[in-house]
């Protein structure tokens, strides 16, 4: 960032309640432009790649192996079809890991004896924080901390630690280029 930062984007306080359908396209474009202009987009991308490469799940290799398996099996034969399928599989496994984490967290919170012994912590032992995605713990030795599931497929969920590291950088970057406008209702 060799140049001084530009004027921050003015974000209304109500933006916290926006949904994808109600997002202001002009505001989103303004924020994206500032993230690009001030080098934050490259910083976010670099952190994501570094976090993926540094994580013990070996996620990039798992994606590569999955893509090659899809091509070799003939399930997909074009690059656009391959990209759609791999992204679909990552989303599916991420949703499954999130659901497993939610059910694990719910089960742990409902049992007072669950937290009595910190030697077994589902939030740190499993994939993406889940205790048993595809029925395997981190000690199973598979990619992303799991072994292959019942169908023989590798878990392609992006590791939670990677997501958390990148979200931290995204938040810092957004705070650098955005200014939340006070809606006047805070009374102070």
Answer yes or no: do 185 and 145 share one domain: no
Question: Averaged over 4-26, what is the pLDDT?
Answer: 81
Is 168 among the domain residues?
Answer: yes
Residues 6+ apart with CB under 8 A from 176: 5, 8, 38, 40
Is 68 among the domain residues?
Answer: no
Answer yes or no: do 154 and 175 share one domain: no
Is 3 among the domain residues?
Answer: no
pLDDT higher than 70, residue 149 = no
Question: Averaged over 170-177, what is the pLDDT?
Answer: 93
Domain span holding position 142: 77-112+121-158
**Residue 177 contacts residue 30 (beta carbons within 8 Å):** no
Answer yes or no: do 153 and 164 share one domain: no
Question: Averaged over 155-183, what is the pLDDT?
Answer: 90
Distances (CA, A) of 24 to 65, 140, 148: 39, 46, 42
- pTM of model > 0.75: no
So what's the pLDDT on residue 151?
A: 55
pLDDT higher than 50, residue 137 = no
How far is residue 78's CA from residue 107's CA, in Å, rounded to a whole number? 43
pLDDT in tens, 104-127: 777 766 555 444 433 333 333 344
Question: Averaged over 45-50, what is the pLDDT?
Answer: 94
């Amino acid at each position: 960032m060799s140049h001084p930062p530009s004027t921050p984007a003015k974000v209304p306080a109500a933006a916290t309640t926006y949904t994808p359908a109600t997002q202001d396209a002009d505001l989103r474009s303004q924020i994206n432009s500032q993230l690009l202009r001030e080098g934050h987009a490259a910083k976010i991308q670099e952190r994501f790649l570094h976090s993926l490469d540094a994580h013990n799940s070996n996620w990039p290799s798992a994606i590569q192996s999955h893509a090659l398996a899809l091509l070799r099996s003939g399930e997909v034969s074009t690059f656009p079809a391959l990209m759609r399928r791999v992204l679909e599989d990552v989303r599916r496994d991420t949703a499954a890991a999130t659901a497993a984490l939610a059910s694990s967290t719910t089960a742990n919170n409902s049992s007072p004896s669950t937290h009595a012994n910190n030697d077994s912590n589902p939030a740190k032992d499993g994939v993406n924080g889940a205790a048993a995605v595809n029925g395997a713990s981190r000690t199973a030795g598979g990619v992303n901390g799991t072994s292959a599931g019942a169908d023989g497929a590798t878990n392609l969920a992006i590791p939670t630690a990677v997501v958390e590291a990148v979200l931290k950088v995204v938040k810092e970057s957004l705070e650098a280029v955005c200014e939340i406008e006070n809606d006047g209702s805070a009374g102070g």
